[in-house]
Structure 1
Amino acid sequence: MQHRQIEAFAAVMTSGSASRAAELLGVTQPAISRCIAELERELGFALFDRIRSRMVPTFEGQMFFREVDSHFLAMAKLEAAATRIREFGAGELKIASLHSLGGKLVPKAVALFQKAFPRINVTLQVQSSSQVRDLVASGQFDLGLCSEEIDLNGVEHQHFADYRMVAVVPRDHPLAERAVIRPGDLHDQPLLRLDFDERLSRDLQAAFAATQVKPRAVVDVEYSATVCALASEGAGIGLVNPAAIPGLDRSGFKVLRFEPTLHFRKHLVFPPGRPRPQLVRDFLGVLAEVRNRFALQVDNS
């Protein structure tokens, strides 16, 4: 059996005649009749009785059409599914992000993405970098954003962004009037100590050692947003990732430049050995756009 034969048979059954079937398919009536005759020979039974130039379906023809109709419905579903996948991807996107980017930057990208793809269901989880990596490595999530310090074995990864370290200072602190904070300014100052990765911690300690500076660590903190909250309460001075600051209430602290230049490095991670769906590529485009215009304004600048 050939598809053109089945198509001709279905057209006659749905339209009621060979002439109308020919109009539907854009062929001649003899071509329709020829296809029906060929199909009947291959099936071994008559599909139509020819009565006074009319084609009347036989009992066998009606039974066969039920199967053909089911086939066409299944094909229509497959075509609809292909269209949906082509236009909207798999219909679901799962994103995991570390806290510093999951507070503002990634949600902003998700909001813009949903405006462009309103039918896509997006899941966003904000976790530690190691948890992000595990969610992506196991294939539970489509992509993740994490810090460079974690073990990136078992995931595909690429550089996403470098964020220059800034200082957050209580607004009523004498250092709040400075334009730039340097290691020497922090000697014996109460320091809200962020849990830096190994590279960044080493670089910062080297900057302190070069000027023989010894800040007083008063609180150890895991997230930059928590450092900002503590600075607002006057608990101390912090050195943080600026990506975590947009969206926070800055009425209680100032954001100042810190020198020397030190960077927080962030990566995108993907499940290993899996091609990236169009949906993921579309979101990455939105994410890059948000990253590029997501600049933090420091005070006294």
Structure 2
Amino acid sequence: MQGYPIGDMLNLRQLEILRAVVQYRTTVGAAERLGMSQPSISNTIRHIETVLGFPLFERISNRLSPTEEALILLEESEPLFMLRDAVNQRAADLRMGRIGRIRVASTSELSEAVLPRVIADYAKEHPRIQISLETRLLDSVLQVVENGVADVAFALAPYERQALNYERVVVLRAVVLCDENDPLAKLEEVGPKDLAERPMVGPQVANRIGLMLADSFRARGIDYRPNIETRFMNAAARIVREGWGVALVDELSAFTALRPGLVIRPYAADLSFELSAALPKTKTPSRQTQRFIKAFRERVEARLAEVRAESLRPLQG
């Protein structure tokens, strides 16, 4: 199959073979996966390396270990595979007579806290609408909307991008999730100084939300140094749910991880995260997409009412 050319060097089929070898770590496994012969796989990889002028794999104990260059190449080509899959899926939709489709992208926090319920309810109400969900990093979530691979993306604290419009859904507060016997549980609100000496898990400073948290600490003259760093806030909340430390996260992530014995406390610093729906500027959202955003907003608002009632419940003891 001739694919989309990358410059004048590679086509999509060659990249697909490269991706299969990276996944299975052997040419035999890649051949079985793609329905090709092992020699064809090996010859293709050698051809790609010749064209590019650098090796793509190192052989270690009869396994092929991809080089850093191979991994970078695959990461850059991922939007091509997504676009191909989207086109193939659209063709299947037309063949099967489906009357509509909603392609949703989201960061991990929202894929856990809100979207499962929204999608389940929407599918019950609109059984002939196909829904797909991609969970990705913030940059990738916004990119798939720009590229036309997703119809809408839901994200926390997104940044401005020239090709996107943002529709605000709600503003989420930062809160602290901790054990009910932790000293923080007795406070009306928890500030950076209260967290400075506590075993804390939170977003890494390398990402946008981590930087926002670090700024809120710095404004109080405190260094933001979580003992355990995570990329997503729902992962931080889950670690506390499993019995370690305290987490500084958004309201929805905290409430999703809540269990008996844990409590939610307001964060004292002026910090919030805008939850937005990202839409392409060049395309009017379909009625189905607009209807889905409305269902998402209603579910988030209902969930927040529960969260805020929990965070303000009477203190113990």
Out of 147-156 and 165-174, give the one that drifted further.
Answer: 147-156
TM-superposition CA deviations, 1:126-171 (whole Å, max 9, x none): 2122111111111111111123344422223222221000001134
- 3-state DSSP of counterpart to 1:245: helix
Q: d(CA) in 2 for partners of 1:278 and 1:159?
A: 18
Return closer, same or farther for 1:211/1:156 CA change in 2, 3 Å cut-off: closer
- The corresponding residue for 2:118 is 109
TM-score computed with the length of structure 2 as normaliser: 0.60
User: More relative contact order in 1 or in 2 (CA 8 Å, sep 6+)?
Assistant: 1
Return closer, same or farther for 1:283/1:155 CA change in 2, 3 Å cut-off: same
Out of 88-97 and 263-272, give the one that drifted further.
Answer: 88-97
Pairwise mapping of residues 1-301 of structure 1 onto structure 2 (< 5 A)? 90-195=99-204, 204-214=213-223, 216-251=225-260, 253-295=262-304, 296=307, 297-298=310-311, 300-301=313-314
Q: d(CA) in 2 for partners of 1:131 and 1:206?
A: 24
Shift of 1:218: 0.9
TM-superposition CA deviations, 1:211-265 (whole Å, max 9, x none): 4434653111111121112223443222101122344352353211111231011
Of all paired residues, the percent bearing the same amino acid is 19
Q: d(CA) in 1 for partners of 2:212 and 2:119?
A: 34
TM-superposition CA deviations, 1:76-109 (whole Å, max 9, x none): xxxxxxxxx9xx9941111111111111312222
Contact 2:99/2:128 (<8 A) preserved: no
Q: d(CA) in 2 for partners of 1:134 and 1:95?
A: 12
Unaligned regions of 5+ residues in structure 1, if any? 1-84
- 3-state DSSP of counterpart to 1:293: helix
Return closer, same or farther for 1:211/1:226 CA change in 2, 3 Å cut-off: same
**Which structure is larger by alpha-carbon Rg, 1 or 2?**
1
TM-score computed with the length of structure 1 as normaliser: 0.63
Contact 1:194/1:222 (<8 A) preserved: yes
- 3-state DSSP of counterpart to 1:287: helix
Which amino acid in structure 2 is aligned with residue 130 of structure 1?
Answer: D
Return closer, same or farther for 1:132/1:214 CA change in 2, 3 Å cut-off: closer
Return closer, same or farther for 1:196/1:164 CA change in 2, 3 Å cut-off: farther
Unaligned regions of 5+ residues in structure 2, if any? 1-93
Return closer, same or farther for 1:200/1:131 CA change in 2, 3 Å cut-off: closer
